[in-house]
């Protein structure tokens, strides 16, 4: 079975631009979460979606938004990029039977110049 997939792998953007990151969860998983991992730090929670509804939001500005589609894939959007948004963005999915166990994708490395 395929694990969590994310695209693109790497991305370079300029300050002020907008970016969209994509995530496909493990087949059968209905919950998708997004995390930001800045170099040298642990991942920080951004959003969780379950059955297309936002179930949790971390301490991030409104420039960050996300959505989940009927096939449970998800997009993370970041507007008006800042240099500080440079990070590895991780997507994780979890199933109903083991809701506390999250499986992570390889991440998208975003560099803002």
Query: Applying CB under 8 A, which residues contact another protein?
Result: 4, 6, 33, 35, 41-45, 48, 55-56, 58, 90, 92, 100-107, 109
CB 57 within 8 A of CB 70: no
Q: For another protein, which is the closer residue by CB, 64 or 104?
A: 104
As a whole number of angstroms, the distance between CA 55 and CA 52 comes to: 9
Closest approach of another protein to the CB of residue 5, in Å: 10
Q: For another protein, which is the closer residue by CB, 85 or 102?
A: 102
- How many separate helices (H) and strands (E) can be counted in the chain? 0, 11
Residue with tokens 């009927």, as numbered in its chain? 70
Closest approach of another protein to the CB of residue 16, in Å: 27
As a whole number of angstroms, the distance between CA 48 and CA 70 comes to: 15
Closest approach of another protein to the CB of residue 15, in Å: 24
């Amino acid at each position: 079975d395929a694990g969590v997939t994310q695209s693109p792998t790497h991305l370079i953007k300029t300050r002020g631009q907008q970016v969209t990151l994509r995530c496909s969860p493990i087949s059968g998983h209905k919950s998708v979460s997004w995390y930001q991992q800045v170099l040298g730090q642990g991942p920080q929670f951004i959003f969780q979606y379950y059955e297309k509804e936002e179930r949790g939001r971390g301490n991030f500005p409104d420039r960050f938004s996300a959505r989940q589609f009927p096939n449970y894939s998800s997009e993370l959007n970041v507007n008006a990029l800042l240099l500080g948004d440079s990070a590895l963005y991780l997507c994780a999915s979890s199933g109903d039977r083991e809701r506390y166990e999250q499986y992570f994708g390889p991440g998208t490395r975003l560099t803002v110049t």
